[in-house]
Amino acid sequence: MKAVISFLIKAILFIILPFIFLVRGSVYIHEKYEFLPFISLLGGILVTSLLLLIYFFVFYGLIFKKVGSGSTLKKVGVAVFLIVGGYCIHGLFFISSKNVKSPGLKKEIVDLHPILRIAVSTIIILDKDLIITDASRVPEDYRKMGLRTKNSSLHYKQKDGYAYALDLRTNSRGEIRNFFLKSYFKLMGFRTLRHGGTGDHLHISLKCHYRPGAI
């Protein structure tokens, strides 16, 4: 039984590791080097592509008992990069209507920081019932919700044109699911806050270099 459990854990880690490299790697590059949004994401794509390339040649060596040629390395490297890049393009610009609170909100997704979009689209693969309740805002939105207008918020578009925060629904979901959802974002390097306001929800934000102390 222990051997089976160990094998399953290793298999799961093997499968999810590229996604971790993509999201966590992009967040790390963003925080460490303060690159432009798509440059940081590109860094995550390159790191993930390298990992998948290692995967390929490990399996290639186990099956054929030899190391692939330089030509094979280039072809596989390009193919892997295109696959990871294609995954990101899909995650950046497509989200199902069932994962957003309203049709209007779906249009706001493109206003979110690219790394935040990739992080959300990735967790949706496992949590298909996840609902985004809020993304980018303007000061007037707080008044419409009956809340005090904030002078600064990571829901507002920052100097680079992107909002650095979104809210996820926690109502009508088990606390275990909410715990794992919050843990995922924390492990990936995002800031999380469970609070009320217009209803119980999980606030997720990416560190913003324009407002480093904001959440």
**What letters, b where the CB count within 10 A reaches 16 and e where it falls short, cover 109-146?**
bebbbbbbbbbbbbbbeebeebbbbbbbbeeebbeeee
Domain boundaries along the sequence of the chain: 2-92, 96-205
Segment 129-149 mean pLDDT = 75
Residue 144: pLDDT band by 50, 70, 90 thresholds?
low
Segment 105-110 mean pLDDT = 89
Is the pLDDT score of 71 beyond 90? no
Average pLDDT, the chain: 90
Span 96-205: which CATH code? 3.30.1380
pLDDT of amino acid 7: 82
Q: Please, are residues 203 and 193 in contact by the beta-carbon 8 Å criterion? A: yes
Least trusted range by pLDDT, from 80-84, 156-160, 198-202: 198-202
pLDDT of amino acid 124: 97
Segment 117-133 mean pLDDT = 96
Is the pLDDT score of 91 beyond 90? yes
Q: Please, are residues 153 and 214 in contact by the beta-carbon 8 Å criterion? A: yes
How many Cβ atoms from other residues are within 10 Å of residue 46's Cβ?
16
Residue-wise pLDDT tens digits, 13-61:
899 999 999 999 999 999 999 999 999 999 999 999 999 999 998 887 7
pLDDT of amino acid 139: 61
Q: Is 182 or 141 the better-scoring residue by pLDDT?
A: 182
Q: How many CA atoms lie within 13 A of 53 on its CB side?
A: 19
Q: What is the value of pTM for the model shown? A: 0.92
Distance CA 69, CA 190 (A): 40
pLDDT of amino acid 143: 62
